[in-house]
Chains A and B, each alone.
Chain A
Amino acid sequence: MRDVVAIGVGMTKWGELWEKSLRTIFVETALLAIDDAGVDRIDSMVVGCMSSGLFVGQEHLGSMLADYLGRIPVPAARVESACSSGGLALRQGFIEVASGISDIVLVGGVEKMTDLTGCETTFALGTAADQEYEGFHGLTFPGLYAMMAVAHMHKYGTTREQLAQVAVKNHDNGSKNPLAQFPFKVTVDAVLNSVLVADPLRILDCSPITDGAAAVVLCPAEMARKLKKPAVRITGSGQATDTIALSSRQDITWLESTHLAAQKALAMAGRKIEDLHLFEVHDCFTIAEIMVTEALGIAERGRGGRAVEEGLTSLKGRYPVNPSGGLKAKGHPVGATGVAQAVEVIKQLRGEAGERQVKGAKRGLTQNMGGTGGSSVVHVFEAD
């Protein structure tokens, strides 16, 4: 297996981009990454997208995006794993470079979500759950995570305020990220007084509906040395699955797929969780970040709420989680999220994260999750 490095990153401002189509959002972002890498060719591209078919009625993204990027006839694949489609795209690009099949691979993620009304979007996102045995009964994604929250609060005593503190922390970080959809701070009171979506989760516990894309250029390490680019190595990649329906889990307060994907990625990198300096994780809802920190081993099982309350996961804490603002403040264009997490970690390891820079960061981790944890992808990155 060849060593794989990231030599270019691209991300544009996220939000409700009414004036831009899916193809425009993707191409503008991909060009930033290609220019950042300083390469004059790509050999292949992999794009994560959850549901362009439902969101904009367009499938066959490989052809369309290679075409509009001006790169036909390069091989191009669209991969899907619900909200972890972007993480999966990164993993497929990593495998393609590591295996020697391709040298320069463009990894992208994109989602155009705001062409639909709210209830159509709720339906499209709901397809990441078990449609016949969860969706049929009127469940929504906030509803599923709300049930995880109720169970976690009942079992471990996690409090409503601790959930709110995740949103407050991530908005604090996001206020330092000019590309974030919501770059402003919120207070615990604002979260607790925001409108209920699925009890106990309120609107400020939920990541938003977002249009956006992110891109990374990968190549073998030996090629990067010739290019003299600031290279960040991908030293670990792990993926795991779990049951599609939440009700089928042994323990609905535990994210086994994230735990297993992290174990695999860390083993490949030869690192332990305490060796890492920052973490970009899948906080689609506040309870999700609490459960992810437990599954990664940042917090003990059941103590993820206390970890955020005690500042362990804040920007200046021992384990900074979501310095970018996370899905909560940065936005969550579902298929792009996993790639944007990599963009943030790579910028941090290059020391280019501005006001939200984690000082001296040399190693970081991304964790991207589909559905209620039916799939998870974890990567470990290290500064060269």
Chain B
Amino acid sequence: MPTPSRSWREIPQRYRLEAGKCKGCGAVFFPPRVVCPQCGSREFGKTRLAGSGKLLTYTIIRVAPRQFEDQAPYAVGIAELDDGVRLTAQVVDCDFSALAVGMRVTIEFRRISEEGEAGAIYYGYKFVPE
């Protein structure tokens, strides 16, 4: 699991959905990048991700890594947000049978995982049906 410094430096993305917007070509990247793979520019501004989008694909994880074992089975998907950015996250508050390609989802701030009873708790974003 991440060290404190690792989870601390990821706060702008996990808590505030901060993305990088290329000043050269306007492309938006999440997570932010240092160099634009499309135009080569190294100048970026900050922007906030669109709050909703549609599912491109999904799965239900039945065999989970250790820190997610207590949550299995759970759904995960890739959504294309309304600003064109694609994002991977869990899909929650949704019956598995209702999952579908093209389903509208919004982003909510949720608990992601925890390191046992006395360890750190990690927060971030998840998808919920719109």
Q: Chain A: interface secondary structure? A: helix
Tally the A-B contacts, defined by beta carbons under 8 Å. Answer: 97
C-alpha spacing A123/B69, complex, angstroms: 12
B39 within 8 A of partner (CB): no
Which of A98-150 touch B at CB < 8 Å?
118-120, 122-123, 126, 132-140, 142-143, 146-148, 150
Let me know if A151 and B101 touch, CB within 8 A: yes
Let me know if B59 and A135 touch, CB within 8 A: no
Let me know if B78 and A138 touch, CB within 8 A: no
Let me know if B88 and A247 touch, CB within 8 A: yes
Which of B26-77 touch A at CB < 8 Å?
31, 56-69, 71, 74, 76-77
Residues of B near A59 (CB, < 8 A) are none
**B contact residues, total (Cβ < 8 Å):** 33
Let me know if B57 and A138 touch, CB within 8 A: no
A198 within 8 A of partner (CB): yes
Let me know if A143 and B66 touch, CB within 8 A: no
Let me know if A246 and B65 touch, CB within 8 A: no
B15 within 8 A of partner (CB): no
Let me know if A246 and B88 touch, CB within 8 A: yes
**With A247-B86, A252-B78 as contacts: A123 and B66 at CB distance below 8 Å:** yes
- Of A118, A120, A247, the residue contacting B78 (CB under 8 A) is A247
Let me know if B78 and A135 touch, CB within 8 A: no
Looking at chain A, what size class is its interface with the partner chain? 35 or more
**With A119-B69, A133-B31 as contacts: A139 and B88 at CB distance below 8 Å:** yes
Let me know if B124 and A140 touch, CB within 8 A: no
- Of B88, B96, B126, the residue contacting A133 (CB under 8 A) is B88
Let me know if B57 and A154 touch, CB within 8 A: yes
Let me know if B90 and A137 touch, CB within 8 A: yes
C-alpha spacing A122/B64, complex, angstroms: 8
Residues of A near B126 (CB, < 8 A) are 137
C-alpha spacing A223/B43, complex, angstroms: 54
Let me know if B112 and A136 touch, CB within 8 A: yes
Let me know if B57 and A139 touch, CB within 8 A: no
B82 within 8 A of partner (CB): no
Least CB distance, B65 to chain A, in whole angstroms: 5
Least CB distance, B69 to chain A, in whole angstroms: 6
C-alpha spacing A142/B59, complex, angstroms: 9
Residues of A near B58 (CB, < 8 A) are 147, 150
A197 within 8 A of partner (CB): yes
B-contact 0/1 string along A174-213, CB 8 Å cutoff: 0000000000000000000001111111000000000000
C-alpha spacing A154/B63, complex, angstroms: 23
A17 within 8 A of partner (CB): no
Residues of A near B66 (CB, < 8 A) are 119-120, 122-123
Residues of B near A134 (CB, < 8 A) are 88
C-alpha spacing A151/B96, complex, angstroms: 16
Let me know if B89 and A137 touch, CB within 8 A: yes
B109 within 8 A of partner (CB): no
20 example contacts (A-B, Cβ-Cβ < 8 A) are as follows A118-B63, A119-B65, A123-B66, A136-B113, A137-B76, A137-B90, A137-B124, A138-B113, A139-B76, A140-B63, A142-B61, A147-B78, A150-B57, A196-B62, A198-B59, A198-B62, A198-B63, A247-B87, A248-B86, A252-B56
Known: A154-B57, A247-B86, A247-B87. 10 other contacts (CB 8 A): A119-B66, A122-B65, A132-B10, A138-B112, A146-B59, A147-B57, A150-B101, A198-B61, A245-B88, A246-B78
Give 6 nearest A-B pairs by CB, closest first.
Answer: A146-B59, A138-B68, A151-B57, A247-B86, A119-B66, A199-B60
